[in-house]
Chain A
Amino acid sequence: MHPAVGPAWLVWLETSALAVAMRQWTWLYPSVEIVHILGFVVLVGAAVMFDLRLLGLSPSLPVSGLERHLLRAARASTALVVPSGILMFAAHATEMADNPAFRLKLAFLAAALLNAALFHRAPFRTVASWNLYRPAPRAARAAAVVSLILWVAVITCGRLLAYL
């Protein structure tokens, strides 16, 4: 369909045995898609649940405990999301690299990870003083709003990959 034309490493990836198998084995592609969905359900689900807590929902649940529980799930989910994502990328590497939704998705993904890292470096350090029944500091609530927007943007771009 889309000719395998582009930078050499993308052409190599797209013509690799694994990429050919992704395109031609009847049930491999949908299986990998299912793994990717399972992974990001956990990843984005964990992020959204934590963000809602930061925004004031369920103030009786300790923020630090939720963070441990949900972040562990989010970290584990990358073992599903990343390899499955790479396989799907490989199957149509040159086309994906040209797809504006794909580039935007990677940018939003990087921004979401950066936002999470900044949250842990700054507002989260004082969590002991707002762990229960106290509103999170403004910086933490801002990080939560940004996180919600970015993860929705990542999913939106991921789905639009197929339509652009």
Chain B
Amino acid sequence: MRSPATLVVGSLLALLLAAAPAAMGHHGWSGYDSSTTLELTGVIKASGYEHPHGYVNLEVPGKTWLVVLAPPSRMERRGLPKDLLKAGTTATVMGYPNRADPNEMRAERITIEGKTVELR
């Protein structure tokens, strides 16, 4: 074998190229349709201050959205502690709908009690 290295590099590239299109899911921002901006105001029914991303179940007239937020460590650092997300609180979120799940959106920012926190 003159150049096993060529074979190796070729194989690895092929593998990565084959895997790349699979990197479209519900977790990264690519899973959300950023060409459609949603602005929702509603009441928090439940929330999770959890890894990998916090969330709120936000009740708006006629629907309850699952709103995906940011990792708790980031929310804490940016001034959105856990107790601001408690049930019964009114919140406004700006974000994008999930491409696959019509009840889920990912929030770019959230406003609670006049305070806006960037989540990206």
Contacts and interface: CB of A to CB of B under 8 A. Distances in A.
B52 A145 contact: no
Interface string B48-84: 1111110100000000001010011100100000000
B25 interface: yes
B8 A55 contact: yes
Contact of A163 (B8, B12, B28, B53): B28
Interface of B: 1, 4-5, 7-8, 11-12, 15-16, 19, 22-28, 30-31, 48-53, 55, 66, 68, 71-73, 76
Contacts of B23: 160, 163-164
A91 B27 contact: no
Interface in A84-114: 91, 101
Contacts of A58: none
Contact of A26 (B24, B68, B73): B73
Chain A interface category by residue count? 20 to 34
A36 interface: no
B15 A160 contact: no
Main secondary structure, interface of A, reads helix
Interface of A: 1, 22-24, 26-27, 29-30, 55-56, 91, 101, 138, 141, 144-145, 148-149, 152-153, 156-157, 160, 162-164
Contacts, number: 74
28 contacts: A22-B51, A23-B50, A24-B49, A29-B51, A30-B71, A30-B73, A55-B5, A56-B4, A91-B51, A141-B4, A144-B4, A145-B7, A145-B8, A145-B11, A148-B8, A152-B16, A153-B19, A156-B16, A156-B19, A160-B19, A162-B28, A162-B52, A163-B22, A163-B25, A163-B27, A163-B30, A164-B23, A164-B26
A18 to B, nearest CB: 13
4 smallest CB-CB distances across A and B, nearest first, come from A29-B51, A163-B25, A23-B50, A164-B25
A1 B12 contact: no
A86 to B, nearest CB: 16
